Amino acid sequence: MKKLLFPVLILCISVTISCTKETITKETPAANSLTAASEENLISGGPHFGALIADMTASKKITVLNKLGVDYARSMIILKDFNGSSSLVDNYVKNGKKVILNLNYQRVVNKNPNPWLTDMAKYRNLLNDVLDKYADKIEVAVIENEPTVDLFHSGPIENYITMLGVAINACHAHGVKVADGAIHVENILDVMGGGGLSTNALEVKKLITAYATLDLDYVNIHTHGDGSSYPTNDLVKVADYVRNKTGHPVMSNEFSMHSYSTSLVKDMVAGMKQGDYKYAIIFSGKSTSGAVPIQNGTDLLSNGQEYRDDVK
């Protein structure tokens, strides 16, 4: 019996090692398959893509959206000017489009920034007028536009935070999801880097801190691209940072291009997908900031065709 003990021991060790190898062999392909499946889901699932088409009639905007193959359209209602209806919103809904709606208190006139409204009773009443009419037609309500852009707004950013809190309560009371007016990629990267911050980056830092305490449905991130490429990972890094700091999903109701490059479009769309932005709305139109359109009339340009193909 003693003579058999050593061979038996060797046999057990051999079997154990063989089983271990077999387990590793079986698990590794499964793990690789899971990773590949996750990446595929990320790419194919992607955000809800859409467009903001500037300077066209409603019917032409809808034609362009249909050619792009997207169902989400960005629109805007000016609270001070609201007279009971919005023909553009009505047209979008009638044609099966889902509306990402900016709710701005007033227009910017002659490039003079508007001071933040401080009469919250008035603001709540104006919001409710719109929400009573359109609550069931709004996919996401976006409160004001780019609160840290000096061209649009003036006054302490704390006043915007107060407005946003009132807007969240009003929208949620009507069953409407809410996003802020947007913070910009470059400012978020500056905040992530620490050190000396510009006035606008300091405002963004305050907003990110405040957003963690507010019942937002999404944090809105804006960006633009130049040349023939975009650092896709920047869109991923800032999305991860904002989600971690605020606890909210991210979206973008405006990303724009300052060149007609198709590779630029491809990079930006990839960044929105990889960064898990829940909505991604491309801006199409000429602007003072240098943005370019993705269509000429109702005909898609090469960058528009690229967008159409990439968001499928």
Q: How many C-alpha atoms does 13 have within 13 Å on its Cβ side?
A: 6
Residue 172 in tokens = 């949620």
- Stated pTM of the model: 0.85
| Paired strand residues for 103 | 77, 143
Strand positions, DSSP E, the chain: 48-53, 72-78, 98-104, 114-115, 138-143, 153-154, 178-179, 183-184, 219-225, 250-257, 279-284, 295-296, 299-300
Residues in the chain, how many?
312
Contacts of 205 (CB under 8 A, 6+ apart): 191, 197
Taking the C-alpha atoms of residue 284 and residue 296, their distance in angstroms, rounded to an integer, is 10
Please report, for the chain, how many H helices and E strands are present, in that order.
10, 13
Query: Burial code of 166-191, b = ≥16 C-beta within 10 A, e = fewer?
Result: bbbebbeebebbbbbbbbbbbbbbbb
Q: Please list the rounded mean pLDDT of every run of 10 residues in the chain (312 residues).
A: 41 40 33 35 65 96 98 98 98 98 95 95 98 98 98 97 98 98 98 94 98 98 98 98 98 98 98 98 91 97 98 94
Q: Quick one: pLDDT at residue 288?
A: 78
The CATH code for residues 52-310 is 3.20.20.80
Extents of the domains making up the chain? 52-310
SS3 230: coil
